[in-house]
């Protein structure tokens, strides 16, 4: 019997190609690529809609008869005649469907989308790719009915359409993956963002531009407040910079040469061209250059929440994770060559502290090296900087992998990826080495020898962007944020309208103690009020009736603990003190 381990995804993709051809005779398979959870195929064909997608699935089902594929329940396809080595993986608690071998690979169609931008043009010219690629998160794999024209194909009715399929070595693994994707959909930050009234997007405002509602704004304020306090306690100086800069600033920085495709069109002001900033680095450099510096002044560490603007293709936009205007928790460290190893190590230590404070523990570092084509500086300096970053990751006890050619155009970097509560790897913090921009901007300091020297520069962001990190938090916690991070910490429920006066007194007392509270004083019954706060995932619900008013207490219901009984305000505050103090920043770096 044939061993399928090395080719079952390819065989299943050919079966998909037949099913698509049955649905649309003119369709042409132009690309196939494996992913960690299956594969995708790109077809040159008329636009797919949900009805066509369902028909393709039906045809794939029909093609199983008399071929090497057998259908498993729930829309999965299982090749027959495949052998599996001894010791096959059997997921816990997932039984194989009747009549399907535990060792048979299984497949299910997931979604479809258009293919965009340079990638679309590349594939349309027939240059198919191969190999493995990291999969999109489940929250990003929803059906997208975009119809971009494929570059290189002059027929107006044909566009590149991508079909994603899940494929695993057994039906049990496929079922386990199906349950995982169902849970991921429940955690989708776009769905929860609407349910919890955190954010929205408006066609009137523009694609990729986020509107934070009051509770979303409170969540961001809590993120910012913790981060800013931590930065200041650990030796960073806070700065603010403009949203636009003159064209010559971006020419000096190299952005117009190396990054122009991601920048917006220039703005004409007084006969000069200005650009919305795609990055904050040149502004921090100009603050440094505004004074004469000595080696005794270094390191200098500037930080800000800098809003930047980068062009994203409309089809790539996704909730808070891919937007056109976003805010970075950006910092730049200027130091001497002797200090740079220590500064990189401290930047990584600080990054891990911040991320752990928000509930993440599992990290992997990716060391990104010199790009093959677009880069600034001498290869020897790139090698030296890359070695420093490798040593930094190793000293922090992090597993690291090499991302060949993945560095920024101005230097190598460490990208820190974390695993969330769904065991998904998520891009987060970055530490980027830079020998180059200080030279381009003529930065200097007086050394101990009295001569002028060029400082080294470390770019550093911990959240990556506040918007993306907010999406990550929403999905990680499924909207049920820790007490210190919850936009509303207490929901106050008067039992009847006459208890609203006491409810307001409780509200005022708790706000005076520094807590965030809301009261539902409406005329609906108590159960409905409680349910409304539960749907909003408020950590604690406080019920106020005759007994509580007489005792100057509230009846406390915890989101996780259940009924906690009656408490007065002081006892309640003492009970919650450890959870509240989790949101207080600390100094963790030595001078």
The residues annotated with a catalytic role in the active site are: 281, 310, 328, 330, 332, 413, 459
Characterize the bridge pairing of strands 199-201 and 210-212: antiparallel
Is the distance from CB of 188 to CB of 139 less than 8 angstroms?
yes
Helix (H, G, I), strand (E, B) or coil at 27: coil
Q: Which helix (H) or strand (E) holds 562?
A: strand 562-567
**Phi, psi for 241 (deg, rounded to 5):** -135, 160
- How many Å apart are CA 188 and CA 169, to the nearest integer? 27
Q: How far is CA 438 from CA 253, 430, 455, in A?
A: 9, 19, 7
- How many Å apart are CA 150 and CA 147, to the nearest integer? 9
User: Residue 339 has which token pair?
Assistant: 């200090």
* Half-sphere exposure of residue 348: CA atoms within 13 angstroms, side-chain side: 29
Reported in sequence order, the residue ranges of 394-539 that DSSP labels E, i.e. its strands, are: 400-403, 413-419, 425-434, 445-446, 452-453, 456-461, 490-494, 517-519
Residue from 312, 406, 408 nearest 368 by CA: 406
Q: What is the DSSP letter of 21?
A: H
Query: 288: which residues sit within 8 A by CB, 6+ positions away?
Result: 300, 302, 334, 443, 455
Q: How far is CA 24 from CA 53, 127, 160, 397, in A?
A: 11, 22, 13, 53
- How many Å apart are CA 583 and CA 512, to the nearest integer? 18
């Amino acid at each position: 019997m044939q061993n399928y381990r090395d080719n079952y995804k390819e065989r299943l993709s050919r079966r998909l190609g037949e099913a698509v051809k049955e649905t649309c005779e003119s369709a042409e398979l132009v690309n196939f690529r494996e992913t960690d959870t299956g594969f995708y195929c790109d077809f040159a064909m008329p636009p797919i809609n949900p009805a066509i997608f369902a028909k393709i699935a039906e045809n794939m089902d029909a093609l199983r008869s008399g071929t090497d594929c057998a259908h498993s329940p729930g829309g999965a396809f299982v090749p027959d005649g495949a052998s599996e080595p001894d010791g096959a993986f059997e997921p816990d608690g997932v039984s194989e469907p009747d009549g399907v071998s535990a060792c048979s690979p299984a497949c299910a169609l997931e979604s479809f989308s258009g293919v965009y931008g340079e990638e679309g043009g590349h594939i349309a010219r027939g240059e198919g790719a191969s190999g493995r690629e990291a999969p999109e998160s489940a929250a990003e794999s929803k059906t997208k009915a975009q119809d971009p024209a494929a570059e290189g194909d002059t027929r107006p009715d044909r566009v590149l359409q991508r079909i994603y399929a899940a494929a695993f070595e057994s039906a049990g693994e496929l079922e386990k993956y199906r349950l995982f994707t169902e849970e991921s959909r429940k955690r989708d930050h776009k769905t929860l963002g609407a349910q919890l009234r955190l954010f929205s997007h408006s066609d009137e405002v523009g694609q990729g531009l986020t509107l934070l509602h009051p509770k979303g704004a409170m969540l961001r304020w809590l993120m910012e407040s913790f981060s800013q306090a931590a930065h200041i306690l650990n030796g960073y100086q806070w700065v603010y910079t403009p949203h636009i800069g003159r064209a010559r600033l971006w020419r000096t920085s190299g952005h117009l040469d190396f990054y122009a495709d991601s920048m917006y069109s220039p703005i004409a002001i007084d006969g000069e061209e200005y650009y919305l900033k795609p990055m904050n680095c040149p502004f921090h450099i100009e603050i440094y250059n505004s004074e004469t510096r000595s080696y005794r002044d270094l390191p200098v560490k500037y930080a800000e929440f800098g809003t930047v603007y980068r062009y994203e293709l409309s089809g790539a936009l996704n909730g808070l994770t891919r937007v056109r205007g976003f805010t970075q928790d950006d910092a730049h460290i200027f130091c001497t060559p002797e200090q740079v190893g220590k500064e990189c190590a401290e930047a990584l230590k600080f990054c891990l502290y911040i991320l752990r404070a928000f509930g993440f523990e599992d990290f992997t570092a990716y060391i990104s090296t010199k790009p093959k084509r677009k880069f600034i500086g001498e290869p020897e300096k790139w090698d030296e900087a890359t070695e420093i970053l490798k040593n930094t990751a190793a000293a922090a006890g992090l597993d690291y992998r090499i991302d060949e050619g993945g560095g920024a155009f101005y230097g190598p970097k460490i990208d820190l990826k974390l695993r969330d509560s769904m065991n998904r790897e998520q891009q987060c913090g970055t530490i980027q080495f830079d020998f180059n921009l200080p030279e381009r901007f003529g930065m200097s300091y007086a050394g101990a020898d009295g001569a002028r020297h060029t400082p080294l520069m470390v770019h550093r962001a911990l959240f990556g962007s506040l918007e993306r990190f907010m999406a990550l938090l929403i999905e990680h916690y499924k909207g049920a944020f820790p007490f210190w991070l919850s936009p509303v910490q207490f929901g106050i429920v008067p039992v009847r309208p006459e208890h609203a006066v006491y409810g307001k007194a409780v509200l005022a007392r708790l706000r005076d103690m520094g807590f965030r509270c809301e009261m539902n004083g409406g005329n609906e019954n108590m159960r409905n009020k409680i349910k409304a706060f539960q749907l909003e995932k408020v950590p604690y619900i406080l019920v106020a009736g005759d007994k509580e008013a007489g005792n100057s207490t509230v009846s406390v219901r915890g989101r996780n603990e259940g009924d906690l009984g009656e408490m007065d305000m002081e006892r309640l505050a003492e009970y919650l003190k450890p959870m509240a103090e989790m949101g207080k920043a600390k100094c963790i770096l030595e001078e």
